[in-house]
Amino acid sequence: MKIKNSNYMRSNLDQQTRIKNFMPKTKFAEIIKVQDSLGRKVSEDIYAEQEYPLVTLSAIDGEMLNIQEDIKTVEQYKKIIRDKVLGVLQLGENPFEVKTDQDFVVPIAAYMKIGNIANTVITIEQKLPWFNAAFLKPERGDVLVEIKKGQGVIESGSDFRQDDIVLAKDEIITSTKKALLKQAGVNEVIVYKDIRIAVLCVDYDSAELNSQLEFEYIQDCMKSWGYSFDVLRIKPHKDIPVNALDIEINDAGFSTDFKTYSENIQKMAHEYDYIVACGLVENRFFHQKGLLRGTNEFRSCFETGQYNQKLRFFSRRFKFFLGNSRSPDIRENVRYYNKQRLPTLTKMELYEDKAVMSYIPGHILDVIVNMHLLVKPTILQKMNRVPCSPDWKIGKLLHDFSFEIDDDYRNKILWGYVTRIKYDEVRRISTEEIPELKIITVENERPDMLSFMKECNCFIPVMGEDNQLKVGDYLYYLEI
């Protein structure tokens, strides 16, 4: 399947790889209960506390037997007790209570615990000829397949033994891996310390200058993605001390002095590991007031320009900042292993204790785009230590579409509506294997415009060379 905008997807992954070069690795770890470990990354190999299966299991549906030797003759089979030696589960009795020490046979389902009450399981197909020969129609002369003691069972410890590695270092504990740990009897795991997240708005506390719509959208995204975070608000600092002006000033409290501003930034950098920041849109009026201007607590490491806008240095920008060291760096020789647990190489790793910050100094459309394209993947990268991609999905275009793009820009964001549900003439529902995309034409688009969102539920990033789209084209898109 050829995806029309796959070049953009590769470009985004390249951006994440570049950010990885600055993303600090931390060595801090903590012990947590397996019950609370979902989504965490293990900092060292995890070993099984017990073998699995703990007891012998039946491998097939059929009859389980407790026999002392292989059954080769009808006379041997006749000696097996066929009475119900196990309690009836449906009546509330203990189904594993053995009431005889003689050989017996009883029905059992596959993968049920046998433990020490039986040692062999045979299929009904193997049992019937023996039963006929012993009790019903011996004259038929059915072929009797020898019943071997120990057949049809899964021995205890056949999946893994105690002290086997069940989860390797740097694995992420998913719901299935958590179930594996529980099966291995693991109660506690050592994981990398969870990151502390803050959502920050640096802007004037004025309804005329700042509606905080963007700030609220960021919080809504973080909640929907399942992250816990603190909400911070910091006022920008004043550029000129009041006593330096030979005029009377009525301070409305919109901003703060530089000392307070700087202390707030330092405190935030010390207490949080990942900060998502917005505020102070970078236009010609506000760009001199940008976040961190005049402080040296963070340094800019990576930024992207605008997507659709004609002002090269303003709007739809994403900036990635790296904080100062909060504790001494650690350098360590780390040995890496292949899947067979054989050493492949030893590499010097650097561990740093630094905060990082994603800053989106734009209007609401800028924030929508960058939250999904860059912020969410970089949060995952900070947590998982590997470059991550956005939640790309693939849709099929329902119509032709073309657009023009300024020569100075490589990328454009198209807004669209996607669905996999269709209705026929009598309103019966059918679903498409691949969702269908319709691109919405937005006239005179502005970065603060939301009116077209009433018919929009996704956006499609494309390169300039993809400006001629045809019906049936496959496209990557992101739901919003």
Identify the domain boundary among 130, 154, 178: 154
Identify the domain boundary among 329, 364, 384: 384
- Residue 159 lies inside a defined structural domain of this protein: no
Query: What CATH number is given to the structural domain containing 455?
Result: 2.40.340.10
Query: What CATH number is given to the structural domain containing 48?
Result: 3.90.105.10
Same-domain check for residues 146 and 282: no
- Residue 397 lies inside a defined structural domain of this protein: yes
- Residue 93 lies inside a defined structural domain of this protein: yes
- Residue 1 lies inside a defined structural domain of this protein: no
- Residue 331 lies inside a defined structural domain of this protein: yes
Same-domain check for residues 206 and 343: yes
Same-domain check for residues 274 and 362: yes
Same-domain check for residues 230 and 369: yes
Same-domain check for residues 245 and 379: yes
Same-domain check for residues 359 and 240: yes
Helix H, strand E, coil C: the string for the chain is CCECCHHHHHHHHHHHHHHHCCCCCCCCEEEEEHHHCCCCEECCCEECCCCECCCCEECCCEEEEECCCCECCHHHHHCCECCCCCCCHHHCCCCCCCCCCCCEEEEECCCCECCCCCCEEECHHHHHHHHHHHHHCHHHCCCCCCECCCCCEECCCCCECCCCEEECCCCECCHHHHHHHHHCCCCEEEEECCCCEEEEEECCCCCCCCCCHHHHHHHHHHHHCCCCCEEEEECCECCCCHHHCCCCCCCCCCCECHHHHHHHHHHHHHHCCEEEEECCCCCCCCHHHCCCCCCCCEEEEEEECCCCCCCCCCCCCEEEEEECCCCCCEEEEEEEECCCCCEEEEEEEEECCCCEEEEECCCHHHHHHHHHHHHHHHHHHHHHCCCCCCCCEEEEECCCEECCCCCCCCEEEEEEEEEEEEECCCCCEEEEEEEEEEEECCCCCCCCCCHHHHHCCEEEEEEHHHCEECCCCEEEEEEC
Range of the domain at 95: 58-154
- Residue 160 lies inside a defined structural domain of this protein: no
Same-domain check for residues 242 and 371: yes
**pLDDT of the residue at 87:** 60
**pLDDT of the residue at 116:** 80
Same-domain check for residues 175 and 213: no
Same-domain check for residues 178 and 150: no
pLDDT of the chain, 480 residues: tens digit per residue: 899 999 999 988 888 888 988 899 887 889 999 999 998 889 889 999 999 999 899 999 998 888 889 999 988 888 876 655 556 566 666 666 666 666 777 888 888 888 888 889 999 999 889 888 888 877 777 789 999 999 999 999 999 999 999 998 889 999 999 999 999 999 999 998 888 999 998 877 666 666 688 899 999 999 999 899 999 988 877 766 555 556 566 666 677 888 888 888 899 999 999 999 987 655 554 445 555 666 678 888 887 754 444 433 334 578 898 999 999 988 888 887 777 777 788 888 888 999 999 988 778 898 999 999 999 999 999 988 888 899 999 999 999 998 877 666 678 899 999 987 777 676 777 777 899 999 999 988 888 899 999 999 999 999 877 888 999 999 999 999
The domain total for the chain is: 4
- Residue 101 lies inside a defined structural domain of this protein: yes
**pLDDT of the residue at 196:** 94
- Per-residue pLDDT reduced to its tens digit, 85-94: 556 566 666 6
Query: What CATH number is given to the structural domain containing 269?
Result: 3.40.980
**pLDDT of the residue at 303:** 79
Same-domain check for residues 365 and 218: yes
Same-domain check for residues 206 and 339: yes
pTM, whole model, 2 decimals?
0.76
Same-domain check for residues 23 and 102: no
